[in-house]
């Protein structure tokens, strides 16, 4: 009786396995939609003409003592700042950048006087005034001028436009890929902002330009944005 009972249990188990497979779709025979979606990177670029410039304007003085060098420097720097303001720069657009005093050493290593330096960061909101402002600073005693760093006053708005352009660029790429693959593009499932670099500042030794009505050519600059977008496959 025991062998007959074992055989019956085996037969029941086989029937259950067969019944469990009824109604299940065959994965090999059916066409499944691709999963994971389509991920692309879009780039948006807005080209504009800079309308602002930032310069570093400063001066260096000498003295037999640190106090003497700093006192002379401070007096001259006050004249430079006053001249820049008189030329049309607002007080809020003048910011002290560096104040320093250092010893000068002779060849044998002894101290041979002191040097004092003071510089301010000056933002010029109207590029047409850049030449006269630099000229006024130079005439007032400035002997260090560096710049310009050119920029746009509405950079945030330009960056927003670049981002919108980057998303549109990403969608066009994804649509091209979906068309090539024979599928339909679905909704956005993920989006990440990247960094493509902001406006590229341009520096030049402006002492070569510090003469009457020094010419400042703004040229153009690009505001860029990148986004990585994932689209579902419909």
CATH value at residue 195: 3.30.110.170
Question: Is 1 among the domain residues?
Answer: no
Average pLDDT over residues 12-20: 39
Residues 59 and 146 in one domain: yes
pLDDT tier for residue 12 given thresholds of 50, 70 and 90: very low
Residues 93 and 133 in one domain: yes
> Cis peptide leading into 161, omega within 30 of 0?
no
Closest CA to 151 of 96, 60, 218, 213: 218
Question: Is 3 among the domain residues?
Answer: no
Residues 170 and 234 in one domain: yes
Q: What is the pLDDT of residue 188?
A: 95
Question: Is 26 among the domain residues?
Answer: no
Residue 99 and residue 96: Cα distance in Å, rounded?
Answer: 8
Residues 228 and 166 in one domain: yes
Question: Is 9 among the domain residues?
Answer: no
Domain that holds residue 88: 52-151
In this prediction the pTM is 0.65
Question: Is 5 among the domain residues?
Answer: no
Residues 129 and 180 in one domain: no
What does the radius of gyration of the chain's CA atoms come to, in whole angstroms? 35
**Torsion of Cα atoms, 184 then 196 then 95 then 218, to 10°:** -100
Residues 63 and 102 in one domain: yes
Residue 55 and residue 24: Cα distance in Å, rounded?
Answer: 75
Least confident piece of the model among 99-113, 120-134, 208-222: 208-222
Least confident piece of the model among 6-10, 87-91, 161-165, 182-186: 6-10
CATH code assigned at 111: 3.30.70.2970
The count of domains in the chain is 2
Residues 139 and 90 in one domain: yes
């Amino acid at each position: 009786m025991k062998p007959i009972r074992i055989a019956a249990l085996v037969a029941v188990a086989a029937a259950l396995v067969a019944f469990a497979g009824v109604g299940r779709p065959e994965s090999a025979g059916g066409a499944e939609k691709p999963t994971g979606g389509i991920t692309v990177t879009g780039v948006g670029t807005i080209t504009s003409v800079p309308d602002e410039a930032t310069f570093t304007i400063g001066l260096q003085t000498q003295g037999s003592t640190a106090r003497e060098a700093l006192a002379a420097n401070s007096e001259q720097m006050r004249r430079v700042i006053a001249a820049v303001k008189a030329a049309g720069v607002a007080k809020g657009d003048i910011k002290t950048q560096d104040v320093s005093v250092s010893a000068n050493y002779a060849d044998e290593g002894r101290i041979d006087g002191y040097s004092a330096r003071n510089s301010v960061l000056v933002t010029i909101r109207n590029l047409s005034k850049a030449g006269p402002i630099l000229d006024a600073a130079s005439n007032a005693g400035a002997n260090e001028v560096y710049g310009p760093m050119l920029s746009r006053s509405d950079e945030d708005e330009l960056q927003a436009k670049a981002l919108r352009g980057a998303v549109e660029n990403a969608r066009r790429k994804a649509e091209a890929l979906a068309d090539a693959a024979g599928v339909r593009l679905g909704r956005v499932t993920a989006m990440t902002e990247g960094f493509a670099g902001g406006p590229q500042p341009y520096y030049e030794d402006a002492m070569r330009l510090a003469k009457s009505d020094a010419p400042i050519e703004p040229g153009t600059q690009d505001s860029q944005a990148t986004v990585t977008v994932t689209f579902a496959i419909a």
